[in-house]
Structure formats: C-alpha cells, structure tokens
Amino acid sequence: MQGRPFRKSEEIVRPASFEYHRAASLEHALDLLHEFGEDGRPIAGGQSLVPMMNFRLARPEHLVDIGRLPLASIERTGNGLRIGALARHIAYFDNPLIARHFPAFLEAVHYIGHPTIRRNGTLGGSISHADPTAELPAVSVLYDGEIVARSKADERRIKARDFFLGAYVTALEPGEMMVALELPLPAPASTGSFVELAERRGDFATASVGVALDHDNGRITRFAMVCSGADLFPVRAGEIEQLMIGRPLADPGAAEAGKRFAASIDPIEDHIASADFRRAAIAELTRRAIEAACTKALK
C-alpha cells in the first residue's frame, strides 16, 4: 500500500532549523534549559508552540522535549489542588476534584480547542504560551492560582495574577519551566461559572468571563471574577468583586454589574472585534456568568 516517495527531490520544511533534545528527567530538562537560556524552549504537546514555529513567529534554536516526563498528575495537596504541567486537557473532564471544587474550571475547559487538541495539549503549554484569551490562564487567575516554576538552581511560586504580563509574555525567566499549577480549595459552599464568546467553537475566544463565589444564607459572601478580552491578559474585576458581596443570590443585579464592569475597561481592538463590540459582549457575558453561578448556588 505504500506508494513511491512523494516529491523526494524537494524536501519541504516549515519551521526554522533547531536542535532537538529529549529530556530523560526533570533535572536533565532543567540542565538543558539552563544551558540554552533564551535560545531554548520546552516542548510537550506542541499544540501552541508548533503553529508559531510553522509560521516562523517562534524560532527557538533548541527544543527540549519534556513530553514523556512524569509531570501529569492531578492531586490534592494540603489545602489545594496541584495539577502537573504535563496534564493533558482531556484529563480535566473526568477528574472528581475539579468537578467538585472548581466548577468554573470545568466549564472553561469545555471551550478548549477540539478533541485531538485536548488529547495532546498540556496545561503547562497553554499557560506558558499565554494567549490573551486562552481558558487556562483565565481560570488560574480566577482561582488565585500559583504557578510553580523550576529552574536548575531554584523553585519559585508566582501568583497567576502576576504571571501574565502581556500577549504571549509571562514572568518565566530564561532557563525556567512551569512544573505545576496549584489552586487553593474554595470554601465548601462555593460555586462558579464560565462563559465564552468565540467566532467558532474551539477557536480562541473573543472574550470570556468566569465567576467563582462563596455563599451563605442566600447571599454572596465572596465574589471573584476574571475577564479575558478586556486586556492583553486575563484581568480580575476588583471593583465589581467588592460590589457583589452581600447581594442576594436570587437577585444579584447581574446586568447592572456587567454594564458597570464594561464601562471600566478599555478592551483590545483587532481584526475579530472592535473595542465597542468587545465591551458590549463582556457586559453580556458578565451578566450570564453571574446569573449562571447564582442559579447553581440556589440549587
């Protein structure tokens, strides 16, 4: 069934040339990344990095393949959840800890790509890639997550809020690699919701809003909200978060909160949407996310 080699004479190449290194262990990977500095990049699923390389928007000189390292576990730590950087997206969907404690996370990941992308793409890849409207950066900010980063010499924890610095720009230093995301467990009476607008299902979002809230006696006692599309990285809705505390779940004033938040932002303008369109969409997404979370809390 195998025919003649196809166009043997002209070898098609797409990315710029690089050297490939397969890491045998995490320590080996960190040694290599330390050695290569700014010229080295880790690769695992490649679902974000390889498109950039095929377009030659990224031209790493050295790729360190970490895809087979044992960093994919999702486990309970003392008071939180730790997700290894190499967890494939498909693993979130049937994880009971995520379903129970982080409903907005579970809703958000349904918007990630398509089945084949989810099977191969990794948590660490998506967060380190830092697309402005990707879902995992947004939920890591929503749930006050911390990115655990390792380098040859050190391990440090970076608050998700301080991790995303711009479009595709993070706080990771050359030689450093994300190894896990840790999320503190929310209070027992908590719930959440995540809604997203995209041109086509599975595409990167035009905008999205996630909400996580605690409640007691029919009222909101803690409120967190994240928005992507408002800036070049996911932002928290500080003023709205204060405003919502004490409001009744049955009548949270979601539409007014959405308008108020939309008026406070200066969204990005690009080939997909004008700033005005994004502002209007974010007002509506905010309303829907708040109402969905409050409805769940009342059940």
Partner 1 sequence: MSMTDIALEVNGRKKTIAVEPRRLLADVLRQEFGLSGVHIGCAHGVCGCCTVHLDGAPRLSCLTFAVQCDGASVTTVEALGGPTAQHPLQQAFRSEHGLQCGYCTPGFLMALLPFVDEMVARRHRPDDAEIREAMSGNICRCTGYHGIVAAVRKAIDASLAKGA
Closest CA to 205 of 260, 262, 278: 278
> Which C-beta is closer to partner 1: that of 159 or that of 201?
201
Angle between helices 254-264 and 275-298 (to 10 degrees): 150
Contact criterion met (CB below 8 Å) for 298 and 249: yes
CB of 226 to partner 1, least distance (A): 25
Residues 6+ apart with CB under 8 A from 274: none
271 in contact with partner 1 (CB under 8 A): no
CB of 148 to partner 1, least distance (A): 25
Composition of the chain by helix, strand, coil, percent to 5? 35, 25, 40
Mask for 119-158, x = binds partner 1 (CB under 8 A): xx--------------------------------------
Q: Report the distance separating Cα 40 and Cα 219, nearest Å.
A: 50
Contact criterion met (CB below 8 Å) for 123 and 85: yes
199 in contact with partner 1 (CB under 8 A): no
Q: How would you classify the pairing of strands 62-65 and 146-150?
A: unpaired
> Which C-beta is closer to partner 1: that of 202 or that of 248?
202
Q: What residues numbered 95-124 form the site for partner 1, per CB under 8 A?
A: 113-117, 119-120
CB of 68 to partner 1, least distance (A): 9
Of 25, 27, 38, 55, which lies in the binding site for partner 1, with binding defined by CB under 8 A?
55
13 in contact with partner 1 (CB under 8 A): yes
| Radius of gyration of the CA atoms of the chain, in A | 20
Give the binding-site size for partner 1 (rule: CB under 8 A). Answer: 39
* Positions in the binding site for partner 1 (CB under 8 A): 1-8, 11-20, 22, 43, 46-47, 50-51, 53-55, 63, 65, 67, 113-117, 119-120, 201-202
